[in-house]
Amino acid sequence: PSLYDHINLKPMTRQQALLMEEELAWDLRREGYAVWFN
C-alpha cells in the first residue's frame, strides 16, 4: 500500500526495520488507529 512507499526506498538492516516498525506504529496510534507491534 501507499502507506509504506516511503519505507521501501532503501534497504535497511533488521534492527533499522524493527525501529521503523515501532515508530510507524506509534505514529498511527497517535492518529487513533489500533496498532500492535513486536
Q: Grid coordinates in use for 17?
A: 526495520
Grid coordinates representing 19 are 525501529
Count how many domains the chain has. Answer: 1
Asked if 25 and 33 touch (Cβ cutoff 8 Å), the reply is: no
Give residue-wise pLDDT tens across range 1-38.
Answer: 677 777 777 888 999 989 989 998 999 999 999 999 87
- Which residue range forms the structural domain that includes residue 19? 1-38
pLDDT, position 13: 93
What pLDDT shows up at residue 34?
A: 96
